[in-house]
């Protein structure tokens, strides 16, 4: 039976599986099967084109600046992660066992990357129109929303620490994995009171942002 992802039924099961395979997955690490980086690269461009074309039609009188701000808000990692979670992607991403145990699939960057990879796979499997239909379905509630600036997670965490009179958070690289052309960093943020959170990214900066965002997410959950 052909797999279905994001409401699209694939003709190629291999493409669907590759789109959900994180670089840390055992087979990908050993080079036996492809991970989702190449599909993510393609999906990022496919998504950008589809959203840009959609905005161009929706807002015929807007200049390039406002259109760019709308586009940036719709394709940023936090937006993609939100959409990916709604679609159930975190439970489907294939990770190393230690990543899954530590909640890695809930990381914003991983969910966002997987969503882009699936969109890239849909494009390769069925062409632009199925990819467009999928994006229009998933982004239907967000496309007309007024864009809001996303505050930097590290800045927000720094402000939170300063408001409590503590020293600034410390960021430590826990691990670097993957090939040189596609590295993966794992970073731990450490607060003066000993609390920590970890995050992953394809650069130290992305991993630091993910760690800060994960710490802030825990704070928000605690006060819900």
pLDDT single digits (tens) 105-121:
557 888 999 999 999 99
Check 99, 108, 116, 186 and give the catalytic one.
116
The CATH code of the domain that includes 217 is: 3.30.160.20
Contact residues for 187 (Cβ-Cβ < 8 A; gap 6+): 171, 172, 173, 174, 198, 199, 200, 201, 204, 207, 208, 210, 211
pLDDT digits 0-9 by tens, 139-194: 999 999 887 766 678 888 988 888 888 888 999 999 998 877 778 899 999 998 89
- pTM of this prediction? 0.68
DSSP letter string, 73-99: HHHSHHHHHHHHHHTT-TTT-B--HHH
In terms of domains, do 164 and 54 share one?
no
Kindly state whether residue 147 falls inside one of the protein's structural domains. Answer: no
pLDDT one-digit tens code per residue, 53-108: 999 999 999 999 889 989 988 998 889 999 999 999 998 998 876 554 344 455 78
Based on the residue annotation, tell me whether 129 is a catalytic residue of this protein: no
Position 222 pLDDT exceeds 50: no
Which pLDDT belongs to residue 151? 67
Asked if 218 and 120 sit in the same domain, the reply is no
> Is 44 designated active site?
yes
Does 122 lie in the same domain as 19? yes
Residue 223: pLDDT band with limits 50, 70, 90:
very low
Range of the structural domain that residue 187 is part of = 153-222
| Domain-embedded: residue 210 | yes
Catalytic residue among 37, 40, 44, 99: 44
Of 138, 173, 196, the residue at which a domain comes to its end is: 138
Q: Which of 138, 163, 185 is the last residue of a domain?
A: 138
Q: How many structural domains are present in the chain?
A: 2
């Amino acid at each position: 039976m052909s797999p279905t992802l994001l409401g699209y039924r694939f003709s190629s099961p291999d493409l669907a599986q590759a789109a959900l395979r994180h670089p840390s997955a055992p087979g990908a690490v050993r080079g036996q099967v492809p991970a989702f980086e190449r599909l993510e690269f393609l999906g990022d461009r496919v998504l950008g084109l589809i959203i840009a074309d959609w905005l161009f039609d929706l807002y015929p009188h807007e200049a390039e600046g406002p259109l760019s701000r709308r586009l940036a808000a719709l394709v940023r990692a936090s937006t993609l992660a939100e959409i990916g979670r709604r679609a159930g992607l975190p439970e489907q991403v294939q990770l190393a066992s230690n990543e899954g145990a530590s909640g890695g699939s809930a990381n914003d960057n991983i969910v966002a990357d997987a969503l882009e990879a699936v969109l890239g796979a849909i494009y390769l499997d069925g062409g632009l129109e199925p990819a467009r239909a999928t994006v229009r379905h998933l982004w239907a509630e967000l496309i007309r929303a007024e864009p809001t600036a996303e505050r930097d997670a590290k800045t927000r965490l720094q402000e939170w620490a300063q408001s409590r009179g503590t020293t600034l958070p410390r960021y430590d690289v826990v691990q670097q994995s993957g090939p040189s052309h596609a590295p993966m960093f794992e970073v731990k943020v450490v607060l003066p009171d000993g609390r920590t959170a970890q995050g992953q990214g394809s650069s130290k900066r992305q991993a630091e942002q993910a760690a800060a965002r994960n710490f802030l997410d825990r704070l928000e959950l605690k006060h819900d």
